Amino acid sequence: MSLERILYVDSATADDLYEKVEQNLSRYTETGFTDLAEAGGWSNSLSTVGNLSLLETLDPAGSPAAEAENSLIVWRALRNLTPSLACENRIWIRLCHIECIEYARERWLKGVSADSLVDSIQLHFFANTQTKWRDDNAISRLWWNAYIAHSLCEDDMVRALNLFLKRADIRSNFIERSWITSRKQLSRGILRLMENVPWVTSKEINFREFMKKVNQYGGRYVFEVMPDREIDRFLSECANAAQTEVHQSTTRAEEPA
């Protein structure tokens, strides 16, 4: 395993790239930025090391299976990053423009219309807000997937990733509710329920309604001191309530005006 220092761009370079996306469209779609990276500002070095060669194996397919595998690859390559460092947008800007540009280009720019190209680049090649580095940047979103999976199921990250990356809406409802993912006992219970109650993840509306019920009823419980069986019972009740709510909503929608 070959380890090397993780690099990042300086603030001036990050700002310049963001401001000149339209001028650099041909670089994003074809030629890349390797020549520019030879100048100053592109190769600031962290003391943290990573196995960056692994990033060459990222799969741009975009399927849930590819997203899960890519998350594991980024984790193995950059697992020495701390959560604090993983909030530093200049690391991800460097990776998206140099080491991972082919993946980012193929995954997020292929098939994008000319009118939407600038917006797509700004969304997926940069990471200048919390939601962007967590949810949108081509590489950092994969690291955060893996970090959360590792924190919940260190011994079975693949299982956790496959569950909450099954659908994009599941990821958003699960990861974006920080009060839930910060409570590991509850999050692990949700993963168990997703495995055991297929209805919950079979449709977008089902999981969304289930998470609403967890949010609605969960405030009264201290999950950190609850045994798994009690958490499972609570979540089962939330799933039943969600199923009733979805059924009633569907019935009302089908009734003649």
Pair (171, 228) in one structural domain? yes
Q: Is residue 160 part of a domain?
A: no
Q: Which two tokens stand for residue 27?
A: 């670089």
For residue 125, give the amino acid letter. Answer: F
| pLDDT value, residue 144 | 93
Please state, in angstroms and rounded to a whole number, the distance separating the CA atoms of residues 94 and 154. 28
Q: Is residue 161 part of a domain?
A: no
β-partners of residue 5 are 49
Q: How confident is the model at residue 181 (pLDDT cuts 50, 70, 90)?
A: low
The number of residues in the chain equals 257
Domain count, the chain: 2
Q: Please compute, for residue 7, the number of CA atoms within 13 A of its CA located in the half-sphere on the CB side.
A: 18
Rg (CA), the chain: 21
Q: How confident is the model at residue 127 (pLDDT cuts 50, 70, 90)?
A: confident
Q: Is residue 131 part of a domain?
A: yes
Pair (140, 195) in one structural domain? no
Report the chain's mean pLDDT, rounded to a whole number.
Answer: 92
Pair (211, 237) in one structural domain? yes
Pair (30, 116) in one structural domain? yes
Pair (24, 149) in one structural domain? yes
- Single residue among 100, 128, 154 that ends a domain in this structure: 154
For residue 143, give the amino acid letter. Answer: W
E strands present in 14-136: 44-50
* Structural domain of 34: 1-154
How many CB atoms are located within 10 Å of the residue 84 CB? 7
What does the pLDDT look like over 182-229, one tens digit per residue? Answer: 788 999 999 999 999 999 999 989 999 999 999 899 988 999 999 999
pTM of the complete model: 0.88
